[in-house]
C-alpha cells in the first residue's frame, strides 16, 4: 500500500462530515496531532441539522446501517459508539408499499422476513428468499475486506483469490437478473434492487456485486440514532475533541499553500494553519479547486441521479407509515430510464418517506410529527440545469403532495406547519458536482481501483476522503473512506478492533 512520505505529525482534516471525523479519529488513535476545519458552525457535513420552528431536521442521510463501522472509529481513540449514541434498531427496517395496494414489512430477522414473504407472495418465494439471504451473506463476506475496505494502488490489486470467488457468486453479472434467480415476484425484486439507484445505476445495468447494499439494508439491520442522524457526527466530533483534536467550526478553507509537491499550510477565512499532511473531504469539484488541478481521466466522471427532498413538520401522521416507507409507483424500468438517461422527472414516482419522530418524538414539538420525503430526480448533467429549479420547485412540491395524498397521506397539505424543499439547485450551491448529493455513480469504470483514488497525483501529502473517492457512496462507505485515508498517512491498514462487540452494535445476523 502506498503511503504519504515524509513527516506526518500534524494533519489538517478539511471537513467535519462523517468521512473527515472518521479520518480524524483514526489519525488521533495513531498519535497524530489533528486539526479539523469545517465551514459550517456544526459538524456533520451532508449529515447536518436544520432547526425549523421547533422541528429538528436531518439534512442528509436518514438510514443508518453497519454501525460497527462507526464503532471501529470510536475504538481508535479507546471509546465506544454505544457510550455516546443511543441506537434504536428498526423493526421493520422498511415498509414497502406498492401501486396495487399491497404492502410488505422488510425484517432483518431471518425467520420474521421469511414468514412475511410467505404471507405476501407464497411459500415458493419464501424459499427463494432463504436462498437469496444466504447468497447475500456470502457476497458480503467476499467483498468487504478485499474489494470495499481496501486501498487499491492499481487494478492489479483486484487479483486475489476472492476475485474468483466473487465471479463464482455471479458478482459480475447484472443485479436484476441475479435477484430474479431467487425471486420471481417483481414487487419483491424491487425491495432487493432499489438500492442500486443510490449507486447511480439502474438494476438492469448494475453489477450484481452491488447487492451488498441490500445485505446491509435487509440482513445486517437498520438503526436510528436517538436525536436524529446528526447525533452520530456530533458524537464523533465530541470523541475527537476528547482525544485532543482541535476543531475549528465556521472556518472556510480558501486555499492550500503548496510551494512544491507538498502542502505546507491550510488557509482559512480566519487563519493560516501550518501542517505536515492534509485530508480533503469536500466533494470532488471543491477538492480539485483547492488543489488547483483536476486529475486526467480517459472519460469524464459520470454522476449518480440527484434527489428532491421535502421536509415537512405536520400536525398529524398516517398509520400506514413505518419509520422508513418505500412508496413504489407502478412504473419501474421507465423510472430508471427517466432518472439516468432521458433526464425527465419521474412520471410515476417511487419515493422514500422517513418519519424520524416514530423513533424519537423529541425531534418535533409535542404532538407534532416530522416527515422526510425523498424523490429521486435526474442530476443537472442529465436533466435540467440547476437554474431551472427556481421556477419548477413550487410546482414540483405541489405534485409531490398530490402523489402522497393519492397514496394514503390524506390531508397532508393542510397538516403542514413547517416545510423545507431541497432541490438540485441547493446541492449545486453546496458544491456537489452535477447537483447530486450521491456523487460519482458506481459504474464498473468508477468502482474499486477505477474510482477516483484517495491519493492525489503530483501532491505528496494530500489524501482524499468522502463519497467521491474510494470506496463510494453511503454512510458505511464514507466512514470506511476516512479510515482508508488515515491508513494512507499512518501506514496501518487495519482498524482497531475489540472482539467482544455486542451483536446489536455489530449488526450481526439474527
pLDDT at 183: 98
- Cα 372 from Cα 463, distance rounded (Å): 34
- Closest C-alpha to 351, from 197, 219, 174: 197
Q: Which helix (H) or strand (E) holds 104?
A: strand 103-106
Per DSSP, the three-state class of 10 is strand
- Closest C-alpha to 295, from 440, 455, 445: 455
Q: Which helix (H) or strand (E) holds 65?
A: strand 64-65
Q: What 8-state DSSP symbol labels residue 207?
A: B
pLDDT at 510: 32
Cell of 80: 465506544
64 within 8 A of 475, measured Cβ to Cβ: yes
Q: Which helix (H) or strand (E) holds 233?
A: helix 231-242
In angstroms, the first-to-last Cα distance of the chain is 35
Please give the order of strands across the beta sheet that includes 272-274.
253-257, 265-268, 272-274
Per DSSP, the three-state class of 487 is helix
306-314 vs 369-377, strand pairing mode: antiparallel
Domain topology for 10-88+227-300+442-490: FAD/NAD(P)-binding domain (3.50.50)
- Positive/negative CA dihedral, 317, 322, 323, 326: negative
Give the domain ranges of the chain: 10-88+227-300+442-490, 121-220, 303-434
Q: What 8-state DSSP symbol labels residue 478?
A: H
pLDDT at 169: 93
pLDDT at 70: 98
Instruction: Measure the CA angle with vertex 183, ends 90 and 344; round to 5°.
Output: 75
Q: How many residues does the chain have?
A: 510
- Cα 173 from Cα 124, distance rounded (Å): 24
pLDDT at 509: 37
Q: What are phi and psi of 417, to 5 degrees?
A: -100, -45
Per DSSP, the three-state class of 162 is helix
pLDDT at 444: 84
Q: What is the pLDDT along the chain (510 residues), one digit of tens a residue?
A: 999 999 999 999 999 999 999 999 999 999 999 999 999 999 999 999 999 999 999 999 999 999 999 999 999 999 999 999 999 999 999 999 999 999 999 999 999 999 999 999 999 999 999 999 999 999 999 998 778 999 988 877 777 888 899 999 999 999 999 999 999 999 999 999 998 877 788 899 899 998 999 999 999 999 999 999 999 999 999 999 999 999 999 999 999 999 999 999 999 999 999 999 999 999 999 999 999 977 777 778 999 999 999 999 999 999 999 999 999 999 998 999 999 999 999 999 999 999 999 999 999 999 999 999 999 999 999 999 999 999 999 999 999 999 999 999 999 999 999 999 999 999 999 999 999 999 999 888 898 888 999 999 899 999 999 999 999 999 999 999 999 999 999 997 654 443 333 333 333 333
pLDDT at 199: 77
Per DSSP, the three-state class of 36 is strand
- Cα 265 from Cα 253, distance rounded (Å): 11
Per DSSP, the three-state class of 188 is helix
Amino acid at each position: 500500500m502506498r503511503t504519504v512520505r515524509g513527516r506526518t505529525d500534524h494533519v489538517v482534516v478539511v471537513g467535519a462530515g462523517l468521512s473527515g471525523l472518521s479520518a480524524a479519529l483514526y489519525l488521533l488513535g495513531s498519535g497524530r496531532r489533528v486539526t479539523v476545519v469545517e465551514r459550517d458552525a456544526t459538524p456533520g457535513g451532508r449529515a447536518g441539522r436544520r432547526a425549523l420552528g421547533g422541528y429538528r431536521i436531518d439534512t442528509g442521510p436518514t438510514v443508518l446501517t453497519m454501525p460497527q463501522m462507526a464503532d471501529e472509529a470510536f475504538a481508535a481513540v479507546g471509546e465506544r459508539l454505544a457510550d455516546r449514541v443511543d441506537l434504536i434498531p428498526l423493526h421493520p427496517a422498511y415498509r414497502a408499499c406498492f401501486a396495487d395496494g399491497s404492502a410488505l414489512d422488510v425484517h432483518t430477522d431471518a425467520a420474521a422476513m421469511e414468514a412475511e414473504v410467505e404471507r405476501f407472495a407464497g411459500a415458493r418465494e419464501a424459499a427463494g428468499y432463504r436462498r437469496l439471504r444466504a447468497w447475500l451473506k456470502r457476497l458480503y463476506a467476499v467483498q468487504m475486506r478485499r474489494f470495499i475496505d481496501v486501498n487499491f494502488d492499481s487494478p492489479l490489486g483486484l487479483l486475489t483469490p476472492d476475485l474468483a470467488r466473487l465471479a463464482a457468486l455471479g458478482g459480475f453479472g447484472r443485479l436484476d437478473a441475479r435477484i430474479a434467480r431467487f425471486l420471481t415476484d417483481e414487487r419483491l425484486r424491487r425491495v432487493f434492487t432499489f438500492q442500486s439507484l443510490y449507486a447511480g445505476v439502474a438494476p438492469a445495468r448494475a453489477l450484481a456485486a452491488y447487492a451488498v447494499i441490500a445485505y446491509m439494508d435487509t440482513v445486517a439491520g437498520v438503526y436510528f440514532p436517538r436525536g436524529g442522524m446528526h447525533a452520530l457526527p456530533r458524537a464523533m466530533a465530541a470523541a475527537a475533541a476528547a482525544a485532543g483534536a482541535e476543531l475549528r467550526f465556521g472556518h472556510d478553507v480558501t486555499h492550500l499553500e503548496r510551494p512544491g509537491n507538498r502542502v505546507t499550510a491550510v488557509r482559512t477565512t480566519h487563519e493560516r494553519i501550518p501542517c505536515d499532511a492534509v485530508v480533503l473531504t469536500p466533494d470532488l469539484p471543491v477538492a480539485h479547486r483547492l488543489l488547483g488541478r483536476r486529475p486526467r481521466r480517459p472519460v469524464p466522471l459520470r454522476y449518480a441521479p440527484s434527489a428532491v427532498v421535502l421536509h415537512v413538520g405536520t400536525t398529524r401522521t398516517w398509520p400506514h407509515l413505518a419509520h422508513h416507507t418505500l412508496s413504489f409507483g407502478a412504473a419501474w424500468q421507465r423510472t430508471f430510464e427517466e432518472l439516468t438517461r432521458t433526464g425527465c422527472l419521474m412520471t410515476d414516482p417511487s419515493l422514500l418517506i422517513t418519519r424520524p419522530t416514530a423513533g424519537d418524538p423529541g425531534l418535533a414539538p409535542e404532538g407534532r410529527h416530522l416527515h422526510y420525503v425523498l424523490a429521486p430526480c435526474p442530476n443537472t448533467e442529465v436533466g435540467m440545469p440547476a437554474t431551472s429549479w427556481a421556477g419548477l420547485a413550487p410546482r414540483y412540491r405541489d405534485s409531490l403532495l398530490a402523489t402522497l395524498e393519492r397514496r394514503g397521506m390524506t390531508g397532508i397539505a393542510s397538516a403542514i406547519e413547517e416545510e423545507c424543499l431541497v432541490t438540485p439547485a441547493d446541492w449545486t450551491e453546496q458544491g456537489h458536482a452535477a447537483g447530486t448529493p450521491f456523487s460519482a455513480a458506481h459504474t464498473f469504470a468508477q468502482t474499486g481501483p477505477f474510482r477516483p483514488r484517495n491519493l492525489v497525483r503530483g501532491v505528496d501529502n494530500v489524501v482524499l476522503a468522502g463519497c467521491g473517492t474510494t470506496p463510494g457512496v453511503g454512510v458505511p462507505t464514507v466512514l470506511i473512506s476516512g479510515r482508508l485515508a488515515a491508513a494512507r498517512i499512518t501506514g496501518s491498514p487495519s482498524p482497531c478492533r475489540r472482539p467482544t462487540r455486542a451483536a446489536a452494535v455489530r449488526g450481526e445476523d439474527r
